[in-house]
């Protein structure tokens, strides 16, 4: 939900529409962008019900403004997906579903999940992936804290450090040693730090996968 990754979502969706339709075409978007500090405060205070009420109300406003598909451009806040889906009448494109389909298409069945502590530790995301038949590994401590802290202390603030990239690569290496056949970048900001060239197994960047799924859904006959 930080603007650092939000602008990447918008760029990828627009590029996808232009590639499909050509000419001067771009995506017809209705966007609700948040002050991330307010969202982070709700997360830190464990006020997920309040966050869900906020997102659900805004999803309804997006629908009322003409949106025909709702895309929540953040992995962590998919903890609120059920209440959002209950508030709208148009399709909600769940990020974990789009990611799981991409993973399964490669033949990978055991996958590592990197993300915020909420995403790695809670069942709302891991469980959704497992419903698709995937076996999900997450880092042990202290690696889990390293992954989480880099997101909140650096990436959402636009800070990209080589040292943090090396730390992530080390975490990924340990997950591969534990049996991971692929790695999910389960936080949209992680793609600002690590890419496919940094890992030795299939890399699943959720921002791009979700953006591509959104374009596919919007332009479907």
Mean pLDDT of the region 15-37: 96
Burial class (CB in 10 A: 0-12, 13-18, 19+), 145: exposed
Catalytic residue, candidates 80, 119, 187, 188 = 187
Report the domain count for the chain. 2
Catalytic residue at 76?
Answer: no
Is 89 found in the same domain as 16?
Answer: yes
Is 114 found in the same domain as 88?
Answer: no
**Digit-coded pLDDT (tens) for 56-69:** 999 999 999 999 99
Q: Tell me the percentage of the chain whose pLDDT exceeds 70.
A: 100
User: Can you name the residues that pair with 30 across neighbouring β-strands?
Assistant: none
Report d(CA 186, CA 204) in Å as an integer.
8
Q: Containing domain of residue 111, as a range?
A: 95-205
Is 103 found in the same domain as 61?
Answer: no
Residue 196's pLDDT is 95
Mean pLDDT of the region 90-106: 97
Reported confidence tier of residue 94, pLDDT bands at 50, 70, 90: very high
Q: Before 40, cis peptide (omega within 30)?
A: no
Catalytic residue at 187?
Answer: yes
Q: Closest by alpha carbon to 34, among 84, 79, 73?
A: 73
Is 14 in contact with 26 (CB distance < 8 Å)?
Answer: yes
pLDDT tops 90 at residue 187: yes
Mean pLDDT of the region 117-130: 95
Reported confidence tier of residue 1, pLDDT bands at 50, 70, 90: confident
Catalytic residue, candidates 73, 74, 99, 119 = 74
Is 134 found in the same domain as 105?
Answer: yes
CATH of the domain at 165: 3.40.50.1860
Report d(CA 51, CA 102) in Å as an integer.
28
pLDDT tops 90 at residue 34: yes
Is 62 found in the same domain as 23?
Answer: yes
Reported confidence tier of residue 104, pLDDT bands at 50, 70, 90: very high
Is 73 found in the same domain as 99?
Answer: no
Number of residues written out for the chain = 221
């Amino acid at each position: 939900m930080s603007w650092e990754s939000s602008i990447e979502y918008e760029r990828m969706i627009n590029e996808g529409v232009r590639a499909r339709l050509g000419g001067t075409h771009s995506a017809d978007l209705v966007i609700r962008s948040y002050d991330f500090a307010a969202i982070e405060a709700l997360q830190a205070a464990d006020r997920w019900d309040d966050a869900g009420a906020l997102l659900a109300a805004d999803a309804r406003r997006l629908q009322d403004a003409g949106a025909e598909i709702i895309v929540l451009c953040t992995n962590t806040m998919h903890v609120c997906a059920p209440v959002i889906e209950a508030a709208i009448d148009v399709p909600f494109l769940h990020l974990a579903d789009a990611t799981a389909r991409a993973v399964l298409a490669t033949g990978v069945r055991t996958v590592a999940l990197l993300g915020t502590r909420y995403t790695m530790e809670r069942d709302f995301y891991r469980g959704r992936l497992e419903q698709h038949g995937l076996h999900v590994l997450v880092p042990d401590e202290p690696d889990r804290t390293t992954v989480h802290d880099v997101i909140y202390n650096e990436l959402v603030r636009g800070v990209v450090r080589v040292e943090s990239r090396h730390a992530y690569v080390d975490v990924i290496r340990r997950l591969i040693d534990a049996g991971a056949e692929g790695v999910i970048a389960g936080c949209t900001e992680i793609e600002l730090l690590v890419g496919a060239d940094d890992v030795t197994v299939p890399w699943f960047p959720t921002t791009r996968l979700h953006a591509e799924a959104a374009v596919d859904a919007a332009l479907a006959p």
